[in-house]
């Protein structure tokens, strides 16, 4: 009997400490997801009393969850649409936009490829499978298109900013990670792929797009065409535990993690 | 211990029964989970559209859930790897069991089996870094990551299974059969082809089926070297995207319990049915050609 009582007491103790924790929910864009996962991991290590759950249901679902009060922070790879803001206001939710990182995606080719510049229009035709020979662009050999899996955030950005309503054709070799794209392109002289700015290295050659070299500066100024801001949304100005998290995201330490994830930090 | 011999006996019997039951329960639970998570996708897409649709764009708006290219890729990779692995495996087995001396055999067999111990990620890496550039250069292909490369790597993985099981079967052919054949004036080769092989057919088929079901379910190798393009291959040098690599590549980024997630589980169901079929055929063949005694041939 005493044993059972002891166990009940222990359970109650565990339960009460669980209630004492602050819980924050983060939901939304799969592009922002890896950034927030990394940041939240570091943040929770420093603040064991705050419990944060991060899930990636897509920008639209994240914003919807914020409007419905189902999440504290929404991640989005696009700005909220006027219609969504209106809907939020009607439900007494006041969306507050925070830019947390910049996303820039760079087309890469094998260093053996003579090509060094492309236009967005050419990229679109290459990835639709319409340009099949590098001769059309003044280089040599057949074109091998390397893309990210359709479920990845990088693909989503590429489809949105380069393909513009068209799809990457099914003959493209879909790779599961930025690293796999770099590996494939570095091993194949015919290949063209795309990766986040943070993944560029000497094994592949980045192309200029519409004459602009992709750098952190051109990405920040949006002069580089395949770049965009990534957002976090909160209901009103962040307060309490949420403020702690947002401040950490924008801190030097948080932005360092943004860079490590392969995105462009704000400063 | 004050237990009677009978109680002890019952206890041990029950413990062993529970141990045997555990794997059945585990299999049952995994199957239930697979079906519960996968079947709801068929509210979104019909079964024929899912199985025979040729476009796989699970996250587009509206999405396309056609896995026909993935099924064809899996079958093509398995078939081509069998074409490479079966002759290699069976011939190695014949050599080891019938022709090689004891010392050669004692050296070769463990080495062949060691090939099975190589982690698949190592084989995949080898295919990606060594074989792919080599194929591309020598055959002047657009890409070395393709159906052929994947099949070759999978063949490496199924040869040890096929060889090891076949070798045991050939080795188990009764001595009287061989001696009778030789006594009738048949040459060594005729004995192998007409007597030994037919007598060990059941074991060889089991080995082949096990090797093939390993190839169709293998994930890491095809993820790394098959190329990943969800198209119906037009040649053996086309890049392809077999079912397991799709599941492995996309599951991490699919929204939990979303349509894409359910579609991936449904691919899992299809894959499970394929491997189940392979195993059923294997046990059927093994049963049918079972060698009961020396006189059954």
| pLDDT, tens digit, 9 for 90 and up, residues B5-28 | 889 999 999 999 999 999 999 999
**Residue A135, phi then psi, degrees to nearest 5:** -60, -35
Q: How far apart are CA A62 and CA A5, in angstroms?
A: 44
What letter does residue A212 receive in the DSSP assignment?
B
Whether A59 has its CB under 8 Å from any CB of chain B: the answer is: no
Do the Cβ atoms of A92 and A62 come closer than 8 Å? no
Q: What is the pLDDT of residue A18?
A: 47
Q: What is the pLDDT of residue B1?
A: 55
Tokens of B155: 């063949």
- Best B229, B232, B242, B246 member to test A by mutation, with max A CBs in 10 Å, is B229
Identify all chain B residues contacting A128, using CB atoms and an 8 Å cutoff.
none
Q: Where are the beta strands (DSSP E) in chain B?
A: 56-57, 64-65
Q: What is the pLDDT of residue A119?
A: 94
Q: Which of A55, A173, A187 sits opposite B256 (nearest CB)?
A: A55
B193 to B199, B280, B286: CA distances (angstroms): 10, 27, 19
CA distance A10 to chain B (A): 32
Q: Where are the beta strands (DSSP E) in chain A?
A: 22-28, 50-55, 73-76, 95-109, 117-118, 144-148, 173-175, 191-196, 205-206, 208-209, 227-235
Tokens of B29: 């639970």
Identify all chain A residues contacting B229, using CB atoms and an 8 Å cutoff.
170-174
Do the Cβ atoms of A196 and A183 come closer than 8 Å? no
Whether A97 has its CB under 8 Å from any CB of chain B: the answer is: no
Asked if the Cβ–Cβ distance from A171 to B229 is below 8 Å, we say yes
A49-53, B82-86, B291-295: range with lowest mean pLDDT: B291-295
Nearest to residue B284, comparing CAs of B231, B182, B212, B205?
Answer: B205
**Residue A78, phi then psi, degrees to nearest 5:** -145, 160
Tokens of B128: 């990606």
Q: What is the pLDDT of residue B290?
A: 66
Identify all chain A residues contacting B143, using CB atoms and an 8 Å cutoff.
144, 173, 188, 190-191
Q: Where are the beta strands (DSSP E) in A13-162?
A: 22-28, 50-55, 73-76, 95-109, 117-118, 144-148
Q: Residue A10: which pLDDT band, with cuts at 50, 70 and 90?
A: low
Question: How many other C-beta atoms are found inside a 10 Å radius of the C-beta of residue A72?
Answer: 23
**Residues 6+ positions from A121 with CB-CB distance below 8 Å:** none
Asked if the Cβ–Cβ distance from B142 to A190 is below 8 Å, we say yes
- Mind listing the pLDDT tens digit for each residue in B101-140? 889 989 988 898 888 888 999 999 999 989 998 998 898 8
CB pairs under 8 A between A and B: 83
For B60, nearest residue in chain A (alpha carbons): A150
What letter does residue A86 receive in the DSSP assignment?
H
pTM as predicted: 0.76
Q: Residue B289: which pLDDT band, with cuts at 50, 70 and 90?
A: low
Q: Which of A55, A149, A188 sits opposite B249 (nearest CB)?
A: A149
Is pLDDT of B296 > 60? Answer: no
Nearest to residue B58, comparing CAs of B268, B253, B218?
Answer: B253
Q: Residue A16: which pLDDT band, with cuts at 50, 70 and 90?
A: very low
């Amino acid at each position: 009997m005493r044993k059972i009582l002891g166990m009940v007491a222990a359970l109650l103790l565990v339960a009460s400490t669980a209630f004492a924790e602050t819980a924050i929910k983060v939901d939304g864009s799969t592009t922002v997801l890896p950034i927030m996962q990394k940041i939240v991991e570091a943040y929770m290590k420093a603040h064991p009393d705050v419990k944060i759950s991060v899930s990636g249901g897509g920008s639209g679902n994240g914003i919807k969850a914020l409007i419905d009060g189902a999440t504290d922070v929404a991640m989005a790879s696009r700005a909220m649409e006027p219609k969504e803001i209106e809907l939020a206001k009607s439900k007494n939710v006041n969306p507050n936009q925070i830019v947390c990182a910049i996303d820039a995606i760079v087309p890469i080719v094998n260093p053996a490829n003579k090509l060094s510049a492309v236009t967005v229009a050419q990229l679109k035709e290459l990835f639709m499978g319409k340009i099949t020979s590098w001769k059309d662009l003044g280089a040599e050999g057949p074109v091998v298109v390397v893309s990210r899996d359709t479920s990845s955030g990088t693909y989503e950005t590429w489809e949105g900013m380069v393909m513009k309503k068209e799809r990457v054709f099914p003959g493209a070799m879909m790779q599961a990670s930025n690293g796999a794209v770099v590996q494939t392109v570095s091993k194949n002289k015919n290949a063209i792929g795309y990766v986040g700015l943070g993944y560029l290295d000497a094994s592949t050659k980045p192309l200029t797009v519409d004459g602009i070299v992709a750098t952190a500066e051109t990405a920040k100024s949006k002069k580089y065409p395949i770049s965009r801001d990534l957002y976090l949304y909160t209901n009103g100005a962040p307060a309490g535990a949420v403020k702690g998290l947002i401040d950490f995201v924008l801190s030097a330490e948080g932005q360092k993690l943004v860079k490590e994830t392969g995105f462009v930090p704000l400063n | 211990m004050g237990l009677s011999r009978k109680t002890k006996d019952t206890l041990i019997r029950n413990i062993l029964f529970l141990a045997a039951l555990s794997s059945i329960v585990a299999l049952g639970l995994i199957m239930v989970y697979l079906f519960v998570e996968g079947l709801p996708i068929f509210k979104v897409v019909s079964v024929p559209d899912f199985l025979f649709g040729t476009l796989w764009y699970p996250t587009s708006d509206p999405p396309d859930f056609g896995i026909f290219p993935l099924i064809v890729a899996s079958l093509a990779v398995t078939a081509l790897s069998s074409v490479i692995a079966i002759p290699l495996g069976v011939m190695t087995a014949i050599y080891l069991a019938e022709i090689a001396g004891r010392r050669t055999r004692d050296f070769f067999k463990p080495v062949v089996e060691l090939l099975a111990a190589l982690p698949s990620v190592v084989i995949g890496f080898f295919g990606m870094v060594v074989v792919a550039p080599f194929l591309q250069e020598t055959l002047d292909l657009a890409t070395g990551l393709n159906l052929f490369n994947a099949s070759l790597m999978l063949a490496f993985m199924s040869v040890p299974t096929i060889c090891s099981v076949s070798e045991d079967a050939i080795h188990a052919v009764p001595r009287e059969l061989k001696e009778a054949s030789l006594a009738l004036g048949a040459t060594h080769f005729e004995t192998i082809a007409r007597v030994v092989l037919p007598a060990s057919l059941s074991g060889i088929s089991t080995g082949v089926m096990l090797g093939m079901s390993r190839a169709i379910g293998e994930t890491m190798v095809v993820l790394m070297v098959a190329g990943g393009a969800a198209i119906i291959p037009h040649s053996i040098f086309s890049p392809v995207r077999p079912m397991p690599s799709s599941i492995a590549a996309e599951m991490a980024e699919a929204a939990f319990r979303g349509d894409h997630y359910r579609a991936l589980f449904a691919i899992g169901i299809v894959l499970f049915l394929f491997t189940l079929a392979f195993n059923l055929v294997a046990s059927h063949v093994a049963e049918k050609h079972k060698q009961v005694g020396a006189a059954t041939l």
